[in-house]
Amino acid sequence: MKIAVCVKQVPDTADIKWTENNTIQREGLESIINPFDMYALETALKLKDREQNVNITTLTMGPPQAEEIIRKAISLGIDDGFVVTDKKFAGADTAATGRTLAAAIKEKIKEVDLILCGQFATDGDTAQTGPAISVNLNYPVITYVKEILSVENNIATVKKEVEDGTEILKVKLPAVLCMLKCDYEPRRPLIKGFKNAQKAEIKFYGLNDIGLEVEQVGIKGSPTYVSKAFRPEQKQGGEIFVPDNADDAVNKILEALNG
């Protein structure tokens, strides 16, 4: 079974500081693999632990520095990976990103059974890239996936979390699955993993390698664009009470509930 996992480099939420112009202060900012993508990687690795002949490739679209997160993924046990990078990809919205990743998968991985993505990216939070990839490849998609229960005879059985409960769904492969936070935690790299990551040859592919035209990618290939970005009024912490006793505290809360 061939699995592709799409990952994104995002700024570490806990680290984000804002400049006066409402842009993120990039200096000193740690980049991490999007937390939801970590669950997608872990889910793929779990399948590899459990089944024979599973091969996992990870890919990311981003600046050349995104190589770092591909190496990180390899340190966890992913077989190989590549970076889809080109100045012409800049400014891509989810539609253009989905198209670009789909083209890269088609051209560079070719035969694939399962494509895993994170349900959201913590910076953009659009949840649209996975479904966009699926439509471009003409594969079915399931979003909000909590767990892959089994893969047998080219059919995956998955748990999907919805507002009122859990759905068990069967999907014919190849398919795209978008992963939520799972009930298991992503593994940590072992020494061997670090070594593999260091040795690994990471490939870089640009527009010419993936068979798309310049009008289909980046800002040109994006039907949406940002007209304005602003920071909402930040909440100033309200009053803090140090009540004399519990009754005092209760009264304060009742006041707040009614007010």
- Residue numbers 139-198 binding other proteins by CB under 8 A: 140-144, 157, 160-172, 175, 180-181, 183
Return the residues of window 11-40 that contact other proteins according to CB under 8 A. Answer: 13-14, 16, 18, 22, 24, 35-36
Burial class, 157, CB count within 10 angstroms (exposed 0-12 / middle 13-18 / buried 19+): middle
* Least distance in angstroms from the C-beta of 140 to other proteins: 4
Asked if residue 158 lies in contact with residue 80, where contact means CB atoms within 8 angstroms, the answer is no
Binding mask 208-227 for other proteins (x = CB under 8 A): --------------xxxxxx
Quote the DSSP letter at residue 1. -
The number of angstroms, rounded, from the C-alpha of 114 to the middle of its chain's C-alpha atoms is: 15
Nearer to other proteins, 196 or 216 (CB): 216
Nearer to other proteins, 52 or 258 (CB): 258
Binding mask 101-130 for other proteins (x = CB under 8 A): ---------------------xxxxxxx-x
Asked whether position 235 contacts other proteins by CB under 8 A, the answer is yes
Nearer to other proteins, 20 or 201 (CB): 20
Nearer to other proteins, 39 or 89 (CB): 39
The Cβ of residue 124 has, within 10 Å, a number of other Cβ atoms equal to 15
Q: Which residues contact 103 (CB under 8 A, 6 or more apart)?
A: 136, 210, 211, 212
Amino acid at 218: G
Binding mask 43-82 for other proteins (x = CB under 8 A): ----------------------------------------
Which string of DSSP letters, residue by residue, matches 80-132?
EEEEE--GGGTT--HHHHHHHHHHHHHHHT-S-SEEEEES--TTT----HHHH
